[in-house]
Structure 1
Amino acid sequence: MSDVIADRSFWHRNQQTLAPWLFLTPAILFFVFYVIYPVFQSFNLSLYEWDGLGTKEYVGLRNYEDLYWEWVDRDAFYTSLKNNVIWLFLYLAAIPAGLFIALFLNQTVTGIRLYKSLFFFPFVISQVVVGLVFTWFYDPAFGFLNIFLGWFGAGPINMLGDERYVTYGVILAGLWPQTAYCMILYLTGLNAVDPEQIEAGRLDGAKGWRMLWHVVLPQLKPATFIAFVVTIIGALRSFDLISVMTSGGPFGSSRVLAYYMFEVALSEYGFRMGYGAAIAVVLFAIMMVFIAYFLFSMYREEKR
């Protein structure tokens, strides 16, 4: 009986400390087993040669050496890595675009609900649908892009069939829903902006860009951080649109690392699971460099 009373008293004494952990435990376990463990599993698999069915053969860093020589010889890995860099920098345009759309939608304008619905629409449809819509839009025979260019006497452009334009065409398709997502993040952040700071800024003579830069944007740092991280991850894991719109073509010119990883691990290149895992490790490393840099920048700003 005394043990039961002691147990109850321990729970009552530490209830506020233990209760959050009890709620967090299922999510933490899920994250460990389905995110953290597969990351280390990929590191381990990248050290083996394996076709997915037979016995694994330990090869050390040979898969990474193959990636290096492909990069030197400007082979498929070089093309995929170069396209991923292009995706990273151009995809970041979704952040300022989403911010300015959110600033517009945050105003009191006639028909604002209709505008919000139209801008929100790309976020709720799947990437496959987005890819199909833009494939029709770019069609050299009846696509609206070439019809529009024809009004100005410009010749038709085979956006998805020309090695010079295909990557930019797919990125433009991806920016459509990504901008909508960033817009939602910033709309949520704008609802939490302190009106007293806005009023104080007005009293100090801040207007327009000065108000935005010195008063509004500092309060949107959490939304900016989430938008940055999600956009970086979206650019690096770009697979759906490329699979639907180009299948990596023409002649492999629109490949990115995620699609190339799929090709070498599960497609025509002979089920090289270890080599695909090495590509995944490189992709993860690039992602962590960008996210770590942004985290460090935010920490430095907060410290100031």
Structure 2
Amino acid sequence: MSSVPAALSATNSSWWHRNQQSMTPLLLLLPGVLFFLFYVIFPIFQSFNLSFYEWDGLGERSFVGFYNYEELYWDDAFYISLRNNVIWLVLYLLAIPAGLFIALFLNQTVTGIRLYKSLFFFPFVISQVVVGLVFTWFYDPTFGLLNVFLGWFGLGPINVLGDEHLVTYGIIAAGLWPQTAYCMILYLTGLNAVDPEQIEAGRLDGAKGARMLWYIILPQLRPATFIAFVVTVIGALRSFDLISVMTNGGPFGESRVLAFYMFEVALSEYGFRMGYGAAIAVMLFLIMLVYISFFLWKMARDERGV
């Protein structure tokens, strides 16, 4: 009788020893995968489901089908938010080339380079709330440094955050400050992995300046560019804290973006409309998915040389 458990134990032990090398990484990844499924994937499907209901967050849900999406179609505030998100997407991408050129400068051997690196790195480590407060003071029409500077040339004062035509651009400029620092850090890390033999081979072939950058350095920086692009797009689409701190969506709702409008309708003055907020979140997710999927497809084509 005792020989049967012993045989089973030997069989199990031998299976583990045979598969230990392949199973160990999976076991180590399992907690992270479970957290990702529970805190990322599950809420996405939950938001899709909630967008078909009318719910105040406390009472009973009422199924309304596509009514929330139909209401979005006629909602002027939604289109203002969508327009501002497109502006954010286009202008926020300026952080990528700006971060690249700053990284190229900081990668040189010059006197005081550590001080320069610290100065450019500083915006990345401070809170977005602090960035918003600093730029609010900077734009202030009475004592802000922007209007002091314009006054030297006989211009101004300009109330950037109070002008419905300028407010979005003023907030984007504030957001570009730390985002450029983040892209700079990514490219500095990528430049440390650039193959010096390829650079030397390029110099022997007469490549220098822009040709060296375009044909030799940038292809080796594709992983850093991909990460910078994805993080920048996500940052542009989920922009909330700067808008909340600097304008709270004003003036006249002209600085709203989808993430801020979602907060307003779901948790603020619009009566806790969770279903309508979820519909806005779904639209934001689909925009992000299309934008990043297109970039992934383009990168895959470039890798294949199509």
The TM tier, using the shorter chain, reads: over 0.9
Aligned counterpart in structure 1 of residue 13 of structure 2, from 8, 16, 19: 8
SS in 1 for 2:277: helix
Structure 2: distance between partners of 1:203 and 1:4: 65
Identity across aligned pairs (percent)? 79
In the TM superposition, residue 5 of structure 1 has moved relative to its aligned partner by 2.2
- What pairs up with 1:32-47 in 2 under 5 angstroms? 32-47=37-52
Structure 1: distance between partners of 2:190 and 2:11: 46
Structure 2: distance between partners of 1:185 and 1:14: 37
Report the TM-score, using the length of structure 1 for normalisation.
0.98
2:125 matched residue in structure 1:
124
2:168 matched residue in structure 1:
167
Q: Which sits farther off after the overlay, 215-224 or 14-23? A: 14-23
Please list the CA deviations of residues 129-155 of structure 1 after superposition, one character each: whole Å capped at 9, or x if unmatched: 000000000000000000000001102
**Does 2:60 correspond to 1:55?**
yes
2:236 matched residue in structure 1:
235
2:286 matched residue in structure 1:
285
Alignment size in residue pairs: 300
- What pairs up with 1:13-162 in 2 under 5 angstroms? 13-70=18-75, 75-162=76-163
Structure 2: distance between partners of 1:4 and 1:223: 49
Rg larger in structure: 2
- Tell me, which stretches of 5 or more residues in structure 2 are unaligned? 1-5
In the TM superposition, residue 178 of structure 1 has moved relative to its aligned partner by 0.3
2:3 matched residue in structure 1:
none
In the TM superposition, residue 287 of structure 1 has moved relative to its aligned partner by 0.3
- Tell me, which stretches of 5 or more residues in structure 1 are unaligned? none
1:181 matched residue in structure 2:
182
In the TM superposition, residue 3 of structure 1 has moved relative to its aligned partner by 2.1
Runs of 4+ in 1 over 4 A off after TM superposition: none
Please list the CA deviations of residues 252-284 of structure 1 after superposition, one character each: whole Å capped at 9, or x if unmatched: 010000000000000001111000000000000
Q: Which sits farther off after the overlay, 80-89 or 8-17? A: 8-17
SS in 2 for 1:160: helix
Report the TM-score, using the length of structure 2 for normalisation.
0.97
Residue type of the alignment partner of 1:51: D
SS in 2 for 1:205: coil
Structure 1: distance between partners of 2:255 and 2:298: 32
Structure 1: distance between partners of 2:304 and 2:23: 31
In the TM superposition, residue 9 of structure 1 has moved relative to its aligned partner by 1.7
